[in-house]
Structure 1
Amino acid sequence: MSGTPAAPDPENRTWTDRVRRSVRTTSTSRALLYVVLFALVAFYLAPLEAGIMTAFKTQNAFNTSLPFFPPLGDGFTLEAWRVALDKLQSGLVNSLLLAIPATVLSATLGSFAAYGITNVDWKYQMPIVALFVAGIFIPYQAVLVPLARLFTIVDTQALLSPLWGLPFMHEYYANLINLIIAHTAYGIPITFLLFRSYYRNFSDEMLEAARLDGASVFSIYRNIVLPLSKPMFAVTLIYQFTQVWNDLLFALVIIPSGSGSSAPVTVALNNLSGGIIQSFGLQMAGAFIAAIPTLIVYVLFGDQFAKGVAS
């Protein structure tokens, strides 16, 4: 006599069905999430992809195909990259000569000011902090006329005339020095604010112990504060380098018209778009070449930048 198979336990059956339903729901939700993320990535990278494709196309291929289509056959060319590099190489050198000193000076002076105001007790600290904060909100357009007038009165080229006879020194460097002064002064308020927020989290006991041991203000900064400031220096260096490298407004106002030898890369890139017929491949290639140094800076200091932002 064959026995009737026992019915599955309702509780176990319900639990099994619940697990299976959860797995199916999780898989569906994850798939939808991936689809949405992929769509967002494609949406944000579409202009970049179109720009890269345009930079490798001939003018005829650009006129006869959609921007994001890859160049095929005779439509592929590297001529735009060769011409762009040839026209931008002096601007790249000028921008490096401009951006590196301006970035280092503004970050260093901002660190000095933040340490002196945050970790050293003296009178009238808050009014000075208010002045620094006010300097952040001054727009570029508000200082263009005073800057242009200042560098018309102060002849940097004449003041530094003894240096122009030295090797590797050129008279047009005076225009770059004017830009370095302008960007350094304009960058100090924001670097000061970043360093001040960072230094306020320092342990008072640590600094007080150094003072009790007889360490001077400069010794404390050099031996304690400066080594601990590397993450914030990475933040300010990346931020300032990007701002100075991408600036066009100050360069157009401060550098006299016709001084092409001292023009930074943004001015040289702006000069690529001229005339009746626009070479979009040339402009795209020039834009990517001009962006390479900032990309290198982000790659080199990316880890420190993340630590500085997190702190």
Structure 2
Amino acid sequence: MTDDTLRTDGGTATFTARLRRNVEQMTIEDAGLYVVLLLAAGFYLVPIESGLVTSIKTGTAIVETAPFAPPGPSGFTLEKWQAAVEALLRGIGNSMLYAVPATVISAFVGSITAYGLTIPDWKQSYKALVLALIIAGIFIPYQAVLVPLTQFWSQWAQLTDLLSFVWALGVPNDYVGIVELVVTHVAYGIPICTLLFRTYYKTMSEEMIESARLDGATLRRVYRRIVFPLSGPMFAVVLIYQFTQIWNDLLFTLVLVSTESSPAAPVVLILAGLGTSLEGQDFALRMAGAFFAALPTLAVYIFFGDEFAEGVAA
């Protein structure tokens, strides 16, 4: 028997012994807690599992099997996934064009705004008034601004002329809607980003900030050298939150882009009509499209997962 086998066997034995000891020490309350957690996990995972198996079923299998039951060998197909990718790939690129810059800009502006409302010394009553006005933007529903939003952008018809150098490169002027979506989501995202960052900055060490200012550091240098580098965990929280909200938003997209046939149509707009026809709903295609459209948000969660957990716990 080799040393590697001994190490493997020893590790397995140690794990088994630890598991047996934990089971023996488990109380009735612990067992009940685990049962509740397993039931909760199943409650949330069953819809996801049902959607996933539906996306790989043929039309006949969808009719003949339960929603959560896997398809048999004759009912398995990946054709719907192929069709979903072909239909949504253009929309994925269009969504990236406004979701990424809008997320980054709103997070950065929210960070600077929160810093100005937390660290610098200025009259508290003025600071509270400005903060209240900014936070009020969080409670304005999307539906309440649709008419003024439409009127605002209709009065900015010259935006198409300002971007004429872009259209000269062969880009369809339909993409002016992408620019409008970026500005709209940045404006709507600044209040919540400011609130999240301000909550985080209030936990920072005042002594560290004061020491830097006593050493002659300006407000700009304090932010650049101290506050910004320490804001990584909260940036992860804000980026994940903002990207998910912007990526999944359909209302502003309907108002500013309008139709899924537009060259600038984002993925949510194309997904809304995917699998819908006079013959009925193609559930497998819709499920495949929904999972494919969710992959970028899942990737963001995975990429910023550790920082997100640190920022939430802060």
Structure 1-normalised TM-score?
0.88
CA contact (8 A) 2:172 2:263 kept: no
Return the offset for 1:256: 3.6
Counterpart pick for 2:146 among 115, 132, 144: 144
Do residues 134 (structure 1) and 136 (structure 2) align?
A: yes
State the partner residue of 2:215.
213
Q: CA deviation at 1:158?
A: 2.0
Q: Which residue of 1 aligns with 2:264?
A: 262
Residues 225-236 of structure 1: matches in 2 within 5 Å?
Answer: 225-236=227-238
CA contact (8 A) 1:98 1:179 kept: yes
Residues 145-224 of structure 1: pairs in structure 2 closer than 5 A: 145-155=147-157, 156-166=159-169, 169-224=171-226
1:45-83 alpha-carbon deviations (Å, 9 max, x no partner): 111111011000011110111111111122110010001
Select 2:276's aligned residue among 274, 277, 282: 274
In the alignment, is the contact (CA less than 8 A) between 2:259 and 2:269 conserved in 1? no
Aligned residue type for 1:215 = A
- RMSD, aligned α-carbons: 1.8
The CA deviation string for residues 237-285 of structure 1, in whole angstroms up to 9 with x for no partner, is 0000000000001000111446521111110100114223110000000
With over 3 angstroms needed to count, the CA separation of the structure-2 counterparts of 1:271 and 1:205, relative to structure 1, is same
Aligned mates of 1:55, 1:77 — CA distance in 2 = 8
CA distance in 2, matches of 1:143, 1:42: 39
SS in 1 for 2:140: coil
- Structure 1 partner of 2:89: 89
- Relative to structure 1, is the Cα distance of residues 170 and 209 closer, same or farther in structure 2, using a 3 angstrom cutoff? farther
Gaps of 5+ in 1: 1-22
Among all aligned residue pairs of Structure 1 and Structure 2, give the percentage whose two residues are the same amino acid.
53
The CA distance in 1 between the partners of 2:120 and 2:25, in whole Å, is 59
SS at the partner of 1:63? helix
For the pair shown, the structure with the greater C-alpha radius of gyration is 1
- Secondary structure of the residue aligned to 1:51 is helix
The residue type paired with residue 243 of structure 1 is: Q
Match of 1:309 in 2: 312
| Distance change in 2, residues 1:257/1:42 (3 Å) | closer
* Matched letter for residue 301 of structure 1: F
Alignment of 1:39-54 (within 5 A): 39-54=39-54
Residues 208-240 of structure 1, C-alpha deviations (whole Å, 9 max, x = no match): 221222212111111011001001100000000
Q: What letter matches 1:241 in structure 2? A: F
Give the counterpart of 1:291 among 294, 297, 306: 294
Is the CA contact 1:53–1:69 (under 8 Å) kept in the aligned structure 2? yes
Which region of structure 1 is more displaced relative to structure 2, 298-307 or 121-130? Answer: 121-130
Letter in 2 for 1:126: A
- In the alignment, structure 2 segments of 5+ residues that lack a partner are 1-22
Partner of 2:4: none
Residue 9 of structure 1 is matched in structure 2 by none
Aligned to 2:58: 58
Cα distance in 1 for partners of 2:145, 2:306 equals 35
Give the letter for the 1:153 counterpart.
Answer: Q
How much has 1:33 moved relative to structure 2? 4.3
The aligned amino acid for 1:286 is: G
- Structure 1 window deviating more from structure 2 (251-260 vs 62-71): it is 251-260
Query: What's the TM-score, normalizing by structure 2?
Result: 0.87
**Secondary structure of the corresponding residue to residue 261 of structure 1:** coil
Output the CA distance in 1 between the equivalents of 2:96 and 2:105: 14
Deviations 1:150-184 (A, max 9, x none): 111102222211232247x5423211010010000
Contact 2:234–2:308 at 8 Å: present in 1 too? yes
Is the 2:175–2:263 contact (alpha carbons within 8 Å) kept by the matching residues of 1? no
Of stretches 173-182 and 158-167 in structure 1, the one that deviates more from structure 2 is 158-167
**Residue matched to 1:11:** none
Q: Pairwise mapping of residues 73-112 of structure 1 onto structure 2 (< 5 A)?
A: 73-112=73-112
Deviation at 1:119, TM superposition (A): 0.9
* DSSP 3-state at the match of 2:281: coil
SS of the residue corresponding to residue 294 of structure 2 reads helix
